[in-house]
Amino acid sequence: MASFQGMAAMSDFGSTGDLASELGACFGPHLASVCGRSARALEACGYGALLVHSGSALTVFEDDRTYPFEVNAPFKVWAPLADAPDSFVYFEPGRRPQLFFHRPADYWYKPADLPQTYWSRHLDIRPIAERGAVRALLPRDLGRVAYIGEAFAELVSWGVGAINPARLMRHLDYERAAKSPYELACLREASRLGARGHLAAARAFEAGASEFEIELAFLKACRLREQELPYNPIIALNEGAAVLHYQILQKRAPADRHSLLIDAGAEFAGYASDITRTYALRDADFGALIGRMHELQQTLCAGIRAGVDWRDVHLRAHALTGELLREADITTCGADEALTTGVTSVFFPHGIGHLLGLEVHDVGGFMHSPEGGDIARPEGHPFLRLTRVLREGFVVTMEPGVYFIDQLLDAARTDARADKINWSRVAALRKFGGIRIEDDLAVKATGCENLTRDAFLAVQG
């Protein structure tokens, strides 16, 4: 079952003793930390207990089948279950967390097995045959209980004190940015699975595969179904790489193949990896530009440590991109002028990275404090997803890029940026679409751990 995808992945690839031992040793302290910060948040916000819903399977319009289930992230932090719709975690400070595990009597679909793995002994697990049965297992008075999740029909009659109270959720989301040793272990494994997929995808590209066939190679190497991935892979050949969230997956390879941009991650025990690589096919010039982007990206990674303002990282990325554009003869102005006039944003329109964890774009990226206030993005950079000062334990993506996007280039042709761009050089590079290089970084006091580069070294070795 998908609920055991983490354990299945370990058995699939062998050499799992160390990982299983690590997870078993550090899940208990992780859960204790989650209990502690949840208790503090409940007290600060005036609630006595927490009821967290895993989510429900959503039915297709005018049909009786459901969409692939996506578990709610606030539930996954307590129990790494990916396929447990209509389950609940109930937490009351000072007491052991309870997991109400939905296991209906069903012969249409196979019910999930009761969890019996490294984490299950740390919660009181009670199977329930249907969602409504949970109410009888909860305290009679839920007036001081905060519920987190989508509101379902019968929830109103349960008498919970609040549904998704904003202040409490802010407290909980703010603390999620700093990862526990258990979470870092899961993120490392997600990176290893993702690296396996990326290497297989690169081989498929070299062999002449279509976008669809490259995705199949990625999935097979990860040993995951598409619905078990943290996001749909972006697999773009040639000009498709200029579409930042390209989603087509052409089933036929183009007659002329120039480049591949693949942005794809894997998931382990609810935690995601988010990895991007770009490849050239027998074009030394574009290959050199990709190599230069790797160097730029590694320069940015080398500057990551606790205490760094992520907004400064983003602006430095633009300054370095300005240098790269000039060196590559794509622009005709200096790096400073390219930054101040907005030329770099023509070629690099997105943010340099974001928080990563239970969600690919993890929550809390703008929060000044758990009590309130958001940190503004730098002026002129509306798509940055993270503005906080980095703390030890944060996990962030680092993803600089250069793209040849017709919409942005056409706009630049009509204003003062036009004479700062080498249009003949842009025309020659347009067939490649663009470049993005993305690694996942765990922030440390004096530097960072590059989860992605370490994973590639591990799986290649």
Residue type at 188 in one-letter notation = R
Q: Are both 88 and 57 inside the same structural domain?
A: yes
Q: What is the pLDDT of residues 127-183, one digit of tens each?
A: 999 999 999 999 999 999 999 999 999 999 999 999 999 999 999 999 999 999 999
Q: Convert the pLDDT of each residue in 431-446 to its tens digit.
A: 999 999 999 999 999 9
pLDDT value, residue 12: 41
Q: What is the pLDDT of residues 324-377, one digit of tens each?
A: 999 999 999 999 999 999 999 999 999 999 999 999 999 999 999 999 999 999
Beta bridge pairs of residue 91: 50
CATH of the domain at 359: 3.90.230.10
Same domain, 187 and 163: no
**Are 104 and 195 within one domain?**
no
Q: At what angle do helices 181-206 and 451-460 cross, to 10 degrees?
A: 60
pLDDT digits (tens, 9 = 90+) for 15-35: 457 899 999 999 999 999 999
Percent of the chain with pLDDT over 90: 93
- pLDDT confidence band for 107 (50 / 70 / 90): confident
User: Does 195 share its domain with 268?
Assistant: yes
Average confidence score pLDDT of the chain? 95
- Look at the chain and report how many structural domains it folds into: 2
| Residue span of the structural domain in which 16 resides | 2-175
- pTM (two decimals): 0.95
Computed on alpha carbons and rounded to an integer, the radius of gyration of the chain in Å comes to 24
Q: Are residues 113 and 207 in the same domain?
A: no
Residue-wise pLDDT for 53-88, tens only, equals: 999 999 999 999 999 999 999 999 999 999 999 999
Based on the fold, state whether residues 295 and 271 are members of the same structural domain. yes
At a CB cut-off of 8 Å and minimum separation 6, what does 62 contact?
none
More confident residue, 460 or 163: 163
Q: What is the predicted pLDDT for the residue at 112? A: 86
d(CA 161, CA 142): 6
Whether residue 186 sits in one domain with residue 167? no
Give the pLDDT score at 108.
Answer: 85
Separation of alpha carbons 173 and 313, rounded Å: 23
pLDDT score of 392 more than 50: yes
Strand 145-148 relative to strand 49-53, pairing: parallel
Between CA 264 and CA 358 the distance in angstroms is 16
**Same domain assignment for residues 397 and 263:** yes
* Interatomic CA distance for residues 354 and 361, integer angstroms: 6
How many Å apart are CA 181 and CA 185, to the nearest integer? 6
| Ramachandran angles phi, psi of 200, nearest 5° | -65, -40
Inter-axis angle of helices 181-206 and 17-45, to 10 degrees?
Answer: 120
65-91 burial, b for 16+ CB within 10 Å, e for fewer? eeeebebbbbbbbbbbbbbbbbbbbbb
In terms of domains, do 249 and 385 share one? Answer: yes
Residue 1 clears pLDDT 70, i.e. is over it = no
User: Is the distance from CB of 357 to CB of 272 less than 8 angstroms?
Assistant: yes
128 and 266 in a single domain? The answer is no
Question: For residue 118, what are the CA distances in angstroms to 19, 182, 207?
Answer: 11, 11, 41
Output the pLDDT for position 291.
Answer: 98
Distance separating alpha carbons of residues 354 and 399, to the nearest angstrom: 9
344, two tokens: 């770099």
Predicted confidence (pLDDT) per residue in 46-55, tens digit: 999 999 999 9
Instruction: Verify that 164 and 243 share a domain, yes or no.
Output: no
DSSP 359-387: SSS-S-TTBS-TTS-BPPPPTT-TT----
Mean pLDDT, rounded, for 415-425: 98
In this predicted structure, what is the pLDDT of residue 16?
59
- Beta strand 395-398 with 401-403: parallel, antiparallel or unpaired? unpaired
Do 137 and 129 form a contact (C-beta atoms < 8 A)?
no
